[in-house]
């Protein structure tokens, strides 16, 4: 197969798959993985694909308009609930815990079984999920500029209040993880998350396996500065091995 034919086929595959591995492309085209890596470097240089560890991502998938929190609740629900249950078990009675915006974190606070907690959040959906938990937790909802897409309060008011507190544990979600970068769609929301993470004793990223090797707009924190990444049990081994160089991964 000629190089231009491979280029065309790779772009076509990514138009439907969004992310594809080097090994899979090599098998499809009956060429070496080294050849595919060279092809992906060239396509990335031309702006046709976005290279990620072990493969490539479609350019269009990184430009998709961010879904709102109601739409996100309908996506990958079993994977999100699996991760949420694991994260909920890490919290100890009597702790002060920050829970950031995100549908997986809504599921997490619904799973909490601890008897006594102080929960801090700037997410209205997370606050509502915590309020409906059967346990009578001390809930603190941080105000600020309301971001309708995620249901979070952000900006100067939120940041001022969050800076004044300390947290035993902080749980944040992401729109994607690419190499050592935690990615989100909104700069202000990312800055708010960074403030909390910097003030937390234990820092956790809670995300389903579909967020790995996924890019987005703004890099708000280093993965290697987080204590633990909590994700699904069936995440690909090559991803566990790769991201394991940056962070402890809980995918049990």
d(CA 147, CA 139): 20
d(CA 156, CA 134): 33
Q: Is residue 35 classed as helix, strand or coil in its secondary structure?
A: helix
Question: Would you give per-residue pLDDT tens digits along the chain (252 residues)?
Answer: 788 889 988 988 887 776 788 998 999 999 999 999 999 989 888 878 878 778 887 766 554 556 676 677 677 899 999 999 999 999 999 999 999 999 999 999 999 999 999 999 999 999 999 999 999 999 999 999 999 989 999 999 999 999 999 999 999 999 999 999 999 999 999 999 999 999 999 999 999 998 998 888 899 999 999 999 999 999 989 899 999 999 999 998
Q: What is the pLDDT of residues 123-132, one digit of tens each?
A: 999 999 999 9
pTM attached to this predicted model: 0.78
Contact in structure between 211 and 181 (CB atoms under 8 Å): no
For 11, counting Cβ atoms within 10 Å of its Cβ (0-12 exposed, 13-18 middle, 19+ buried), the class is middle
Residue 12 CA to its chain's centroid (Å): 27
Q: Measured over all CA atoms, what is the biggest interatomic distance in the chain, rounded to whole angstroms?
A: 66
Sheet of 138-141, strand order: 138-141, 118-121, 96-99, 167-172, 200-206, 228-230, 248-250
d(CA 215, CA 182): 9
């Amino acid at each position: 197969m000629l190089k231009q034919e491979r280029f065309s086929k790779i772009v076509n595959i990514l138009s439907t798959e969004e992310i594809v591995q080097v090994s899979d492309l090599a098998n499809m085209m009956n060429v070496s993985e080294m050849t595919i890596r060279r092809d992906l470097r060239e396509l990335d240089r031309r702006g046709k694909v976005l290279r990620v560890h072990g493969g490539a991502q479609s350019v269009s998938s990184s430009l998709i308009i961010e879904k709102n929190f109601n739409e996100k609740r309908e996506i990958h629900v079993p994977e999100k609930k699996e991760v949420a249950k694991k994260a909920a078990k890490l919290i100890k009675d009597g702790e002060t815990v920050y829970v950031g915006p995100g549908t997986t974190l809504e599921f997490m606070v619904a799973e909490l079984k601890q008897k006594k907690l102080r929960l801090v959040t700037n997410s209205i959906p997370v606050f509502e999920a915590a309020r409906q938990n059967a346990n009578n937790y001390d809930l603190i909802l941080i105000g600020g500029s309301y971001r309708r897409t995620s249901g979070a309060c952000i900006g100067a008011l939120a940041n001022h209040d969050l800076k004044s507190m300390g947290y035993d544990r902080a749980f944040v979600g992401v729109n994607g993880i690419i190499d050592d970068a935690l990615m989100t769609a909104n700069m202000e929301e990312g800055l708010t998350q960074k403030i909390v993470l910097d003030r937390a004793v234990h820092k956790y990223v809670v995300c389903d396996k579909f967020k790995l090797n996924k890019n987005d707009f703004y890099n708000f924190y280093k993965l290697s500065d987080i204590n633990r990444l909590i994700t699904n049990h069936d995440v690909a081994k090559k991803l566990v091995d790769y991201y394991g160089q940056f962070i402890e991964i809980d995918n049990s």
